Amino acid sequence: MQSDDLKNLVEAALPAIAAAGAAALEELRVSLLGKNGSITALLKSLGGMEPEARKAAGAEINRIKAQITDALSARRAVLDSQALERQLAGERIDVTQPPRPDLAGAMHPLSRTQEELAAIFATMGFSIAEGPDIESDWNNFSALNIPAHHPARAMMDTFYLQAPEHARPPVLRTHTSPVQIRTMLNWAKTEGLGATPAPIRIIVPGRTFRADHDATHSPMFHQCEGLVIGEGITLGHLKGCLIDFLRAYFGVPELPVRFRASYFPFTEPSMEVDIGWSRKTGEIGGGTDWLEILGSGMIHANVLANCGIDPRRFQGFAFGVGLERITMLKHGIADLRLFYESDVRWLRHYGASPLTPASLHEGI
C-alpha cells in the first residue's frame, strides 16, 4: 500500500470517528480494527513484502493503528460522559418541592379504634386475648350460664354450622365472651390453683356474628370485651375502670357516666353504662340526655364454677362494647353499613394515617 493510501485512510477515518454516535462508532471500530477491518488487512499484507519494505510499512501501519485506536477511545469517553449527564439530569430530584399527597388509602376507623382501646387498657395493666370465630355451644352459651332453654339464645339470632347427628352444632360466636371462658379454664388449671395466683386482666377485641342487617346492625360486627378475675375485686373496680376508659376514648375529661341496673345471664349484678350527650346536637358529654354505650357486671358465680374457679374465693367483672358503635359516635358516622363497602373515598375521610398509630400517652 502506498503512503498516499494510508494518508487518505487516516484523513477519512478521523473525522468520521469524531462525529460518530455510539452505534456508528462501533461500526467504525469493526471496519477499521476488526477481524476483516482495513488496518487488519494491511497488517496481514506485510507477509508478502521484502524484509526492508516490510519493516518500514509495518512501522507506518502500527503508527496509524495507534492513532485510530486513540481517536476511538477518546470519542468513546466523550459519548459515555454525555450519556451519564443525560441520566443524571433525568433522575434529578428537587428536594425543595413539597411531597406528593399519598392517596393510596388510610387506616380503617375500626383498626384505629382497636389500637386506641389497646393503648388505653394497656395503661391499666390489661393484655389482649384472642380466640377462634367458630366456637362450641358450651363456650358460647352454656358455660356463660345460658342453657339450651334460655331465651337469651333466641335474642342472639345465631348462625349454626353443621354437626354430627345428636351433637350440638358449633356456632359462629355471637360475642367474644368464649375467649373469656377459655382464659378462665386455662387459668384455673395453672395459676388459679396457686396460693397467690396472678389475676386475670384481659381485653378481647374481635369479630362476632348475628343475623342483623340495617343502618345500625350488621351480620358481622366487632366487639371488645374485658375480664378481670382476682381476689377482692369489687364493683368499685369495675366502675373506676369503665369511667376512666370512656373519658380517655372520647377525650372528655369530665364525661358524665351513669350505671343502670340491667340483666345478663353471665353477670350478677348486671349494669348498662350510659354517657352524657346531647340528643339535639350529638355532642358527647354535652346536654342533659343519656346514651347507652355498653354492658357490664360482676361475673356470675355459676360462670366461675363452670370454669373451675371457686366463687367463694375469687370475684371478677366483665364488660362488652361494640367497636362500630363507639367509632360511629366518636367520628359522627351515621350508617354502619359504610364500614364494609370498601369505598376508598370514605376511608380517606374517616380513616387515620398508618404513620401515626395510637400510643400509650394517647390513652389514659
* Interval 24-56: pLDDT, tens: 888 888 888 887 778 777 777 777 777 777 777
Q: Looking at the structure, do residues 75 and 137 belong to the same domain, yes or no?
A: no
The partner residues of 203 in beta bridges, in order of sequence, read: 128, 226
**Which CATH number covers residue 285?**
3.30.930.10
Asked if 323 and 110 count as a contact pair (C-beta separation under 8 A), the reply is yes
Average pLDDT over residues 141-169: 79
For residue 15, count CB atoms less than 10 angstroms from its CB and return exposed for 0-12, middle for 13-18, buried for 19 or more.
exposed
Q: Looking at the structure, do residues 125 and 228 belong to the same domain, yes or no?
A: yes
Q: Looking at the structure, do residues 183 and 66 belong to the same domain, yes or no?
A: no
Q: Looking at the structure, do residues 86 and 113 belong to the same domain, yes or no?
A: no
The partner residues of 257 in beta bridges, in order of sequence, read: 275
Instruction: State yes or no: pLDDT of 192 exceeds 70.
Output: no
The radius of gyration of the chain's CA atoms, rounded to the nearest angstrom, is 41
Instruction: State yes or no: pLDDT of 217 exceeds 70.
Output: no
Give the pLDDT confidence score for residue 213 in this predicted structure: 64
Backbone φ and ψ of 233, nearest 5°: -75, 135
Give the pLDDT confidence score for residue 127 in this predicted structure: 95
From 161, 309, 287, 168, select the one nearest 227 (Cα to Cα).
Answer: 309
Average pLDDT over residues 179-197: 80
Q: Is 300 part of any domain?
A: yes
Give the pLDDT confidence score for residue 364 in this predicted structure: 45
Q: Is 45 part of any domain?
A: yes
Q: Looking at the structure, do residues 143 and 11 belong to the same domain, yes or no?
A: no
Q: Is 103 part of any domain?
A: no
Q: Is 343 part of any domain?
A: yes
Q: Which three cell numbers stand for residue 105?
A: 388509602
Q: Looking at the structure, do residues 172 and 24 belong to the same domain, yes or no?
A: no
Instruction: State yes or no: pLDDT of 118 exceeds 80.
Output: yes
Handedness of CA 169, 172, 173, 174 (dihedral sign): negative
Q: Is 9 part of any domain?
A: yes
Q: Which three cell numbers stand for residue 57?
A: 510499512
Least confident of 209-218, 222-231, 245-254, 309-318: 209-218
Q: Looking at the structure, do residues 56 and 156 belong to the same domain, yes or no?
A: no
Backbone φ and ψ of 162, nearest 5°: -65, 145
Q: Is 97 part of any domain?
A: no
Q: Is 57 part of any domain?
A: yes
- Of 90, 124, 159, the one marking the end of a domain is 90
Q: Looking at the structure, do residues 80 and 195 belong to the same domain, yes or no?
A: no
Calculated CA dihedral for residues 350, 294, 281, 277, nearest 10 degrees: -130
Q: Looking at the structure, do residues 197 and 151 belong to the same domain, yes or no?
A: yes
Average pLDDT over residues 187-200: 73
Length of the chain: 364
Instruction: Say whether 92 sits in a helix, a strand or coil.
Output: coil
Alpha-carbon distance 355 to 66, whole Å? 63
Q: Report pLDDT digits (tens) over 278-327.
A: 988 888 988 889 999 999 999 999 999 999 999 999 999 999 999 999 99
Handedness of CA 328, 238, 266, 118 (dihedral sign): positive
pLDDT bracket for residue 220 (50, 70, 90): confident
Q: Looking at the structure, do residues 82 and 135 belong to the same domain, yes or no?
A: no
Alpha-carbon distance 203 to 275, whole Å? 21
Least confident of 101-105, 134-138, 326-330: 101-105
Asked if 318 and 302 count as a contact pair (C-beta separation under 8 A), the reply is no
Alpha-carbon distance 67 to 61, whole Å? 10
Asked if 127 and 198 count as a contact pair (C-beta separation under 8 A), the reply is no
Give the pLDDT confidence score for residue 93 in this predicted structure: 76
pLDDT bracket for residue 191 (50, 70, 90): low
For residues 224 and 212, which has the higher predicted lDDT (pLDDT)? Answer: 224
Asked if 235 and 220 count as a contact pair (C-beta separation under 8 A), the reply is no
Alpha-carbon distance 166 to 131, whole Å? 26
- C-alpha distance from residue 228 to each of 155, 262, 265, 273 (Å): 26, 20, 17, 17
Q: Is 98 part of any domain?
A: no
The partner residues of 128 in beta bridges, in order of sequence, read: 203
Around Cβ 68, how many Cβ atoms within 10 Å? 22
Give the pLDDT confidence score for residue 357 in this predicted structure: 67
pLDDT bracket for residue 3 (50, 70, 90): low
Q: Looking at the structure, do residues 83 and 123 belong to the same domain, yes or no?
A: no
- Residue numbers of the domain that contains 77: 3-90
Q: Looking at the structure, do residues 183 and 258 belong to the same domain, yes or no?
A: yes
pLDDT bracket for residue 227 (50, 70, 90): very high
What's the total number of domains in the chain?
A: 2
- Of 57, 90, 123, the one marking the end of a domain is 90
The partner residues of 308 in beta bridges, in order of sequence, read: none
From 310, 359, 336, select the one nearest 109 (Cα to Cα).
Answer: 336
Average pLDDT over residues 143-149: 85
